[in-house]
């Protein structure tokens, strides 16, 4: 099971970070980054499968593939923003973490404009 590997990696990294913080706290952030990257690599196969399923479903339902691409990009931005924010908060840089969150939100809103526009156009067509 993949979740066992993810949990094991996370727990081992956490224990290692706790030990490192006592003697060499400057290296703890590097271990955190490596553990995060390792976990992302472990879930990449599952993520590729999910993308393939969503793509085939959108083709069957005749949904604009551009919209699916936008939604996948937005999801990726949300994941990356959360990852970066967590790293910053773990490092004690809460102000930077908040700015990253703000940047991610603004980019997500900007990217969602075509979907919102299409939805509003559809609503206008339906209303008399």
pLDDT in tens, 28-84: 889 988 998 999 899 888 888 888 888 888 888 887 778 888 988 999 999 999 989
Cα–Cα distance for residue pair 43/27, rounded to 1 Å = 25
Q: Residue 52's pLDDT is what?
A: 87
On the CB side of 23, CA atoms within 13 Å amount to: 4
| Domain residue limits, the chain | 1-61, 64-128
Is the Cα dihedral 106, 107, 113, 116 positive or negative? negative
37, 45, 105 from 100: Cα distances, Å: 18, 27, 9
Tokens representing residue 25 in the block? 């706290």
Q: Residue 28's pLDDT is what?
A: 87
Cα–Cα distance for residue pair 83/33, rounded to 1 Å = 9
Average the pLDDT over each of 15-29, 53-67, 91-105 and give the range with the smallest value. Answer: 53-67
């Amino acid at each position: 099971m993949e979740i066992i590997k993810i949990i094991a990696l996370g727990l081992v990294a956490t224990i290692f970070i706790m030990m490192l913080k006592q003697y060499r706290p400057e290296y703890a952030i590097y271990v955190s980054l490596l553990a995060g990257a390792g976990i992302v690599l472990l879930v990449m196969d599952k993520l590729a499968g999910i993308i393939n399923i969503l793509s085939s479903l959108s083709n069957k339902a005749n949904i604009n593939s551009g919209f699916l691409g936008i939604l996948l990009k937005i999801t990726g931005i949300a994941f990356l923003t959360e990852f970066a924010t967590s790293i910053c908060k773990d490092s004690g840089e809460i102000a930077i973490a908040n700015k990253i969150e703000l940047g991610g939100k603004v980019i997500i809103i900007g990217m969602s404009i075509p979907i919102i526009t299409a939805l509003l156009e559809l609503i206008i067509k339906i209303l008399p």
